[in-house]
A and B are shown apart, each in its own frame.
Chain A
Amino acid sequence: MPRRKKSSLQPLGILAAVLLIAAAFLGSALFRSAGNDPFRTVPALDIPAFLENANSLRGNVYKVEGEVSNSLAWSPSAGRLIAVDVKDETIPVLVTTEFNAMNIQRGQKFIFVIEVDENGLLKTKNLSKA
């Protein structure tokens, strides 16, 4: 009986298919991600620099993504001062009155677009749920 010829292309095909599938997944994920951050053009806040000297960052606009950990104060004129956990740090963020209509609760994740004011306080210019 004649010897059956082995198919040598079959594993390569499988590998190629897997790679293709992975590339497709990563591309999809990347696309999806870029599509969920509405402030992707805004630079992230340099937390260590902020802690070191916030005054040096005055006037700059950054974005910060974090989880609301506490409400620190509320001013009718200035808005709500909240504590936001960003990775291992907690920073204060002032949610100005223009976002009064927005419910902000502990544990919620937000992306804040903030501006460093003259006191080094991070004032919210924009925000969205993460």
Chain B
Amino acid sequence: MLLLKKIFFILLVQQVALVYCDIKAQTSGSEIAYLQTDRTVYIAGESIYYKLYILDTATKKRSVPSSKVGYIILRAVNSTPSLKIRVNVNEGMANGSIALPDTLTSGVYQVIAFTSAMRNSGEESFFHKEITIANRFDKSLDFKLLKGNKDYNLTHIQSLEPLIKLDKPAYGTREKVIVHLAKTNCKANVSVSVFEESKMPSTYKSIVETVNDSSVAQKTKRVTNYHSTESKGKILRGTVVDVKTKQTIKDAVILLSCVDTIPNLQYAVANSNGLFQMLLSDYYDGKELFLTIKDAPENNNWKILIEDEFAQSEKWNPLLNSDNENYREFIVKSQNIVYINKSYKLNEDANDKQLIDVKSVCPQFYHCPVVTILPSDFVPLPDFLEIAVEILPQVRIIKEKGKYCVQIFNDLLRQYDRRSPAIFLDGVYVDDIDKIIGLGSEQIKKIDVIDVERAFGDLVFSGVISITSKANEMINTKPASYSVRLKNDNVNTGGNLVAVNPNTLHNPNIPFLKQLLYWNPNMELNGTDDTKFEFYTSDNLANYSIKVEGISEDGTPINASSGIQITNKINSTEK
């Protein structure tokens, strides 16, 4: 009986532990994204100022050790992405601006913000916000708007609402406005926007609703294709497949390099599902990536399929209302303001691109002395075959079964190594030797040779031949069937709004019209005192909203709003 009791107790403890582990596994690593934008209505050509928060689902705090990369998509009603933006997330926050192309058609757009780790919870966990964009030259304005605002009925919402204190409710034009934000109980980081009220429909959850929507945490479902948290940088994901048999190839070695003066390499090994992942450091930002498979068998049908990190499987079909008559006046006014500002060149509010502390390190293939040969020191030779014979004594090129093979003389074995060396052209690992065979003294600037066996991680090569061409020949080559070339995107480094004092304008007679009076994505609330900020009103007479959103150190969302009126009936004394 005692033994039975003991077994029963052990079983109980084990089961409780399993439940605990499961709850922890579901919540750990999952994130919430929230994107605050300065406004919800824009004219094509303007900038969207944004602040992205990445919060931990369990603690609701800014997820400091988690994702370092955030993705923002702007897509139209037909679900075609108009803009894809990658941002660097630092301490759970990112901010900047997105320049809207002048060519965007008028209509409703959806902004989606997410991290790679959020894909594990499904696309429904991504942050979605609908905004309206009107083309500057669109006179008909016959686009459809969203049907009303969506209501989120959330109960027991816990949030901080700091009081926004103004010295008066109405201000004159070009007048200084001083706003006091009442103290909160703890330190917090908020973003503040002061913009003209549009009353145009826009559906999105506020930060309070996003944070308190527990459904996000509960939506964790069976993960078949796990996405690692991009805690160190962007992760390139792909699969190696046999296009004929449609089977995935396991244990394939995928090599990544890019055009540079230094031979560079990174590799990954495909897992049992043919999936591979590579960390793309900032070194790869904006560069063309060359991916190939090491020692791919002859006549193979292997292919590298790269996952699109911005891909959205769910279509966006909003309920639209054809009647936009009520808002036509506001849009026309906005178009005119943009037109006037463009004419007077007053739209250059955004400061220069944010400086990013780039510590990019090239993944060099070797860090040792090499033998350098300059073909220009010798008589001109027509191709690499001749170069190998005449000026590269340690290199031999032979033809086997109609294919060229490059071999390096191994000093220890006193013979040519049958294994292939690593061959680089303009820093890129060459997937086909034919690409270098045709290069002669005219094309080649220098050749670096290492004639000893080299290790690069677990990969071993019989040596290294690195060719630097005079005119970046690698760019003009065609990738082999099992290779792929793709352009890596750049990190968005858009600047922030610079508040202009209208009284310092060189010509006071030019119109000073603004719909966005103030935008500060990084306002620190110290938790002990009121926080003060100031801005100037413009000649645009309207009602403005002051919107404060953010998150406190303890994970409590902050949401406050107020309004001011700008009128010309006030005889302002404090200009």
Does B bind A?
no
